[in-house]
């Protein structure tokens, strides 16, 4: 789950991707719809690494991409990804960065 939205994980070999299945209404204002890609990357030895996206209503259709990585819990029900990204203000760089943490918790078989 991301920001209260339901997500879908796809896996092919070591490749992994999280897509919005049912985005919250507030995310729709940023151009996020069913099937929008949030993360794509790989799973190597229980560690995800790849590209995440952050969306803004000020620049819909142009997500900010940044590198994230993190472990899969031992019980295989949670993935925690962290990465640093630039802080944008109305689609303009601010020169500041923050650390984002994305936590995906397995809820049920789709």
Q: Tell me: the pLDDT tens digits for 66-104?
A: 999 999 999 889 999 999 999 999 999 999 999 999 999
Q: How far apart are CA 83 and CA 97, in angstroms?
A: 10
DSSP symbols for 7-50: EEEEEETTEEEEEEEE--HHHHTTT--TT-EEEEEEEETTEEEE
pLDDT value of residue 2: 43
Q: If you ran DSSP here, which 8-state letter would residue 63 be given?
A: P
**Residue 54: pLDDT over 90:** yes
Specify the range with the lowest mean pLDDT, choosing from 2-11, 16-25, 61-70, 71-80: 2-11
Do 38 and 20 meet the contact criterion of CB atoms below 8 Å apart? Answer: yes
Q: Is 107 helix (H, G, I), strand (E, B) or coil?
A: coil
Domain boundaries, given as residue ranges, for the chain: 6-105
Element housing 95 (H / E): strand 92-105
Phi, psi values for residue 91, rounded to 5° = 70, 15
pLDDT value of residue 5: 81
pLDDT value of residue 25: 84
pTM higher than 0.75 for the full model?
yes
Q: Tell me: the pLDDT tens digits for 28-43?
A: 888 899 999 999 999 9
């Amino acid at each position: 789950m991301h920001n209260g939205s339901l997500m879908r994980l796809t896996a092919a070999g070591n490749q992994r991707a999280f897509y919005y299945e049912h985005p919250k209404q507030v995310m729709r204002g940023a151009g996020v719809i069913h099937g929008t890609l949030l993360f794509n990357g790989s799973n190597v030895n229980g560690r995800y690494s790849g590209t995440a996206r952050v969306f803004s209503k000020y620049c819909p259709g142009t997500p900010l991409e940044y590198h994230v990585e993190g472990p899969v819990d031992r019980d295989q029900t949670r993935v925690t990804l962290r990465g640093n990204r630039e802080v944008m203000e109305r689609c303009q760089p601010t020169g500041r960065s923050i650390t984002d943490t994305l936590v995906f918790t397995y809820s049920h078989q789709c």
